[in-house]
């Protein structure tokens, strides 16, 4: 029987056991690292339990410049370095070889960690939240839908782009084109997914589903969707403390989004069981329902695709106009190429097709350069599923392998990698599409759509929509002016995807129409 006199001795024994157990784990990891030929990576900002580094990051998040801050850390500590955050060691890297290992050659050594639990309240069990067999099943369900010709449904896109063009002021007054792009892409994405657009670009609220639902309108749906994603980003930054971020506003936003999507899920299942109601046009939800009519599976997968289909394309288009409005030579050169190929809106020469869009090199160079400087998903991470290593980053010269113990987070910044001067030259932070003509062959140092088995399924959809929208705008307007000239560098707001914190304010008009 343990008496109070024996309690100090028992406590000392327990402490000794824990210390010995810790030392044994450290020894085993060191031996494992040696067997893999690993050397330690440089260490980042010192501090007890990494609290100081975490507090600094939170401050930069509040300033809305944490993407740039993390880029600066690579300049201070090297292309691969170890950093403690809230008591947990992390590895940060922008080495193409390491990212290739994370995403492809050592794909099975890494997982998404707590992302499933962080994102579950909104996205459930989907392609962006699952690992292993669950992810394989979700990807297998979605992949066939993105290999179809309907992904390049320019006729569907045309109606929404035309509606957006009608909203643009013709008198040369300033407006935020980013706001319009987010409305455009939520309309086109919901049309493609659900067979019916939510109508965010409509001049008045529709009296159908959205007016009767708790979101109240298309704008209400877009706002609820945005609010939910903002909280997902906050939960992700909180890492193992994600569960502390679960306010009523977040729960209510999720409920509203689910209410709308569930309606379309029920409609797709009903149409599957009633061939007379099935649409003649391809509808993503109906195609999914043909293979699986579980309502939750359909809702989760459609929401996962909606996140990608709406935000990444809107981010790309917004950044295109940020740079074009500040680089008149590129705007004029690209517009002349487009007019020569397709004509303008008053005198069209040829039909715009996906094949023709792909065959315009300078259009591709412009999009590539924008995706390089402002990738829609600038930051990402993986978690080691077992003791493993990454190819480079260790030792004094940074060329030795680095040990990655099971459970360690490895973060990588595509944003920072794309700005390395040793990869893209001394003008790596400058917008210069011509660099892609000089050296268009890129490997793992250019990853706007991720890579490996988890490479973005909707890559061609996003590029086609962005290319088509840009061409239509170039046809309709001959003059683009920057309406926020004091802003020289982008003010980046990064939640799940990147956007411009101050919007993208421009003047877009035709010189003959301006009144």
Residues annotated within the binding site for heme are: 456
Question: In 3-state terms, what secondary structure has residue 384?
Answer: strand
With beta carbons less than 8 A apart as the criterion, state whether 142 and 301 touch: yes
DSSP code of 131?
Answer: -
Q: Write the CB contacts of 502 (distance below 8 Å, at least 6 apart in sequence).
A: 484, 487, 491
Task: Give the pair of three-digit tokens for residue 220.
Answer: 């209400």
CA angle 505, 510, 515 (to 5 degrees): 90
With beta carbons less than 8 A apart as the criterion, state whether 390 and 404 touch: yes
The sign of the torsion formed by the CA atoms of 178, 184, 188, 194 equals: positive
With beta carbons less than 8 A apart as the criterion, state whether 392 and 98 touch: yes
Cα dist from 415 to 260, 315, 447, 494, whole Å: 34, 14, 9, 11
In 10 A of CB 240, how many CB atoms?
A: 14
Task: Give the pair of three-digit tokens for residue 75.
Answer: 């300049």
What pairs with residue 90 in β-bridges? 83, 409
With beta carbons less than 8 A apart as the criterion, state whether 374 and 315 touch: yes
Task: Give the pair of three-digit tokens for residue 190.
Answer: 């919901």
Q: Enumerate the H helices of 348-433 as residue ranges.
A: 354-358, 361-373, 414-417, 421-424
CA angle 328, 329, 333 (to 5 degrees): 115
In angstroms, the CA 238 to CA 243 distance is 9
Q: Write the CB contacts of 106 (distance below 8 Å, at least 6 apart in sequence).
A: 388, 390
The sign of the torsion formed by the CA atoms of 346, 196, 296, 115 equals: positive
Interstrand relation of 88-93 and 80-85 (parallel, antiparallel or unpaired)? antiparallel
With beta carbons less than 8 A apart as the criterion, state whether 200 and 189 touch: no
């Amino acid at each position: 029987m343990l008496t109070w006199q024996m309690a100090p001795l028992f406590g000392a024994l327990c402490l000794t056991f824990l210390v010995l157990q810790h030392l044994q784990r450290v020894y085993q990891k060191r031996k494992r690292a040696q067997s893999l030929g690993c050397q330690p990576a440089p260490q980042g900002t010192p501090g007890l339990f990494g609290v100081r580094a975490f507090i600094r990051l939170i401050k930069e998040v509040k300033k809305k410049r944490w993407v740039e801050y993390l880029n600066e850390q690579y300049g201070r500590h090297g292309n691969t370095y170890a950093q403690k955050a809230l008591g947990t060691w992390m590895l940060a890297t922008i080495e193409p070889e390491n990212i290739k290992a994370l995403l492809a050659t050592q794909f099975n050594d890494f997982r998404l960690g707590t992302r499933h639990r962080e994102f579950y309240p909104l996205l459930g069990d989907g392609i962006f939240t699952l690992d292993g067999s669950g992810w394989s099943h979700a990807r297998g369900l979605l992949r066939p839908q993105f290999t179809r010709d309907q992904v390049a449904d320019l006729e569907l896109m045309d109606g929404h782009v035309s509606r957006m063009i009608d909203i643009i002021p013709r008198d040369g007054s300033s407006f935020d084109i980013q706001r319009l792009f987010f409305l455009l892409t939520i309309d086109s994405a919901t049309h493609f997914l659900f067979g019916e657009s939510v109508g965010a670009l409509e001049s008045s609220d529709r009296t159908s589903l959205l007016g009767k639902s708790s979101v109240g309108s298309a704008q209400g749906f877009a706002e609820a969707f945005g609010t939910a994603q903002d909280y997902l980003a906050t939960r992700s930054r909180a890492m193992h403390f994600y569960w502390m971020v679960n306010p009523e506003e977040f729960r209510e936003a999720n409920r509203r989004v689910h209410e709308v999507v569930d309606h379309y899920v029920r409609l797709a299942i009903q149409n599957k069981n009633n061939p007379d109601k099935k649409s003649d046009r391809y509808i993503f939800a109906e195609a999914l329902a043909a293979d699986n009519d579980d309502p939750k599976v359909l809702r989760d997968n459609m929401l996962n695709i909606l996140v990608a289909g709406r935000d990444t394309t809107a981010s790309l288009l917004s950044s295109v106009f940020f740079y074009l409005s500040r680089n008149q030579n590129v705007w004029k050169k690209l517009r002349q190429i487009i007019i020569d190929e397709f004509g303008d809106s008053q005198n069209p020469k040829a039909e715009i097709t996906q094949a023709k869009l792909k065959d315009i090199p300078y259009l591709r160079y412009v999009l590539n350069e924008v995706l390089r400087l402002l990738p829609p998903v600038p930051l990402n991470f993986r978690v080691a599923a077992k003791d493993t290593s990454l190819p480079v980053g260790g030792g004094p010269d940074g060329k030795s392998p680095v040990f990655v113990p099971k459970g360690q987070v490895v973060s990588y910044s595509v944003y920072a990698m794309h700005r390395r001067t040793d990869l893209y030259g001394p003008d790596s932070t400058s917008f210069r599409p011509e660099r892609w003509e000089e050296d268009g062959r890129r490997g793992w140092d250019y990853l706007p759509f991720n890579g490996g088995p988890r490479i973005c399924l909707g890559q061609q959809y996003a590029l086609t929509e962005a290319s088509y929208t840009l061409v239509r705008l170039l046809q309709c307007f001959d003059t683009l002016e920057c309406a926020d000239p004091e802003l020289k560098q982008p003010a980046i707001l990064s939640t799940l995807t990147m956007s411009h914190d101050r919007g993208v304010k421009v003047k877009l008009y035709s010189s003959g129409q301006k009144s």
